[in-house]
Structure 1
């Protein structure tokens, strides 16, 4: 069921409950009002009659009843006078409603009407006869008035419910149109068009959603541009690496193999100095082996596969220390890191390698500390690389590819990276990588 129909159903159900509850309260209040009105009318009529005929000696004859004529218009009451012979004389309450069509329905009369007491008052004439004044409740007029008030009350509630229903529908129509605009924009964003922007809405809640979505699209577009730049940079590095390897193969292997071939041809002639040629070929082979070993170390260190991550990192630290004797480079690495998966091992090695490259190139540091250990309680690896270099403002290096590449490598392992640095206060890179 859609949101619109859910709201409409709840409004109708609430309105029905309000009408039922209001009806019950209205009937109960009407019943109390009729009882109070009838009781007040009965006591008032009795007091008026008692005061009006206080001098019972004024009744000379039983038929002298002219002073009761004023009771003809008494409302809500039936007033009768019973003579000694039992004959009843009616003075009030016998009139019928002037508009029978205005009478309330029988069910309403039955719910509102209750048992009302009958009042009898005895009077004596001068002749010694006893008259009985009988007052009974006739609440039909009052019930009719209450019915009309109740009809007006229910009509007002019905009208208010209708107006509320229409107002809610108008608001929901506007809200659903706004939601439709947001959904259409999200569908466009889903296709990769991150420059799609939502307009400003008059409703504060929808405007907040629109601003959040617009901020998200800006960040997505920014991330896509960064990823595109990183991809292009990676392709450029890859192409440069291929070009460098091709140039090195051409310069080293091509020339060395040509020299070996020339020496081999020379050695085939009589009188050639075979011992000298052999020594030269051996030197060339040693040089080629060193070149191959260096190229293999750059592409993928064999020690990483053969001896594990700890030995590879220690070998790399020794290599960097030999090349940078003024740099105090220290590493603390647990033996348990050798049992990590190959992908995690490879990525951690590349991250530390990139960190050292950035430190040597830009930090002008005197001391570097590398800490790599397992946290069994968290089932994760924690890497920390800290230097005492010149530091930097992280906002000014947002376009650099070194930290971006490190961040992408850590993110590929579902890890978290934190970079802290201030100008003149060095840099600390902390990575947290969960274990599978």
Structure 2
């Protein structure tokens, strides 16, 4: 059903209901008018009879007859006329509240004893006016009630028709959070049902595209790690043995030139340079492949030792003033290789950003399984540094935070980036991510 049909049907129902109510009220009003007219006619007939009786009743019953006429005057049931009665001496026995200049008819009632009464019948439009005002007020009230009923009915119809919009708005809000699992049901209004169908189709397309993008991102990350592993193996094979042999030869030369100070000094400098190159290559190998340069690719990796070694390398770096604290629960946590490398790279990038920009005195790294869900891993890196003024600008400025957020997203997780301490002079920065994990112990 489309919106126009829905509103027209509701309006037709309301009109039919209002028409039925109007008919019922009109019938009730007609019955009331008929009853009042009937009562008024009866009273007029009674009035004529009682006035005629004044001419024939005994003199002793005159006062009683006049009282009957007073009763008719006071009853207020007379319609369209009123009357005034006076005796032949001019004394008004039954007065009227109407103006004496109104339309009137005088009746001279003569008795057999020679006395007489004068009855003045005066037209009284008050009942007609009251009836007309009542009819006008009734019609106005009916029109007002009809308008209010129509407005209420249309409001109810529109509200009923647009209630599904709440679901549509909620689905759109969910899609903005990159959660495309929500599907809208069939809706009673055709236009909204078309919108819901389009949103469902869009959600399916976005979910498919996001899944493909996540697979591509994971494949890219895997290729990067594989390339790093290949480079680490080549560096180890090509430079490792050569440097070992070079340092052995330098040690031999040091022994042979011990009695020649000039040559011995050159050999000592050569030994220092060789040690520096060896240390640099070892550091580079750890950065390229933290689990060691090997052709074997393990399915799971014990992450705590790798993180401890990474944190120690930053703690022991020359000129380092930050205090690092690492907490991993459980201490023997083993994770799939891809997830372990992702967490390692995220921590590596976060610590590098802190060292470059934060000027922090304390850095806390935490990795633990969620107490709410054992299949959720909580990763947090926070510092007490200078913080970030505008987050989006910082993300666009470099690829550190953007890379961390991309890795979390590729693994189907969520990350919050914000100040570690709100309102502080040095708010610092807190990276808190939640990632799903299927096998962890």
Q: Which one scores higher on RCO, CA 8 angstroms, separation ≥ 6?
A: 2
**For the superposition of Structure 1 and Structure 2, which TM-score range results when normalised by the shorter chain?**
0.3 to 0.5
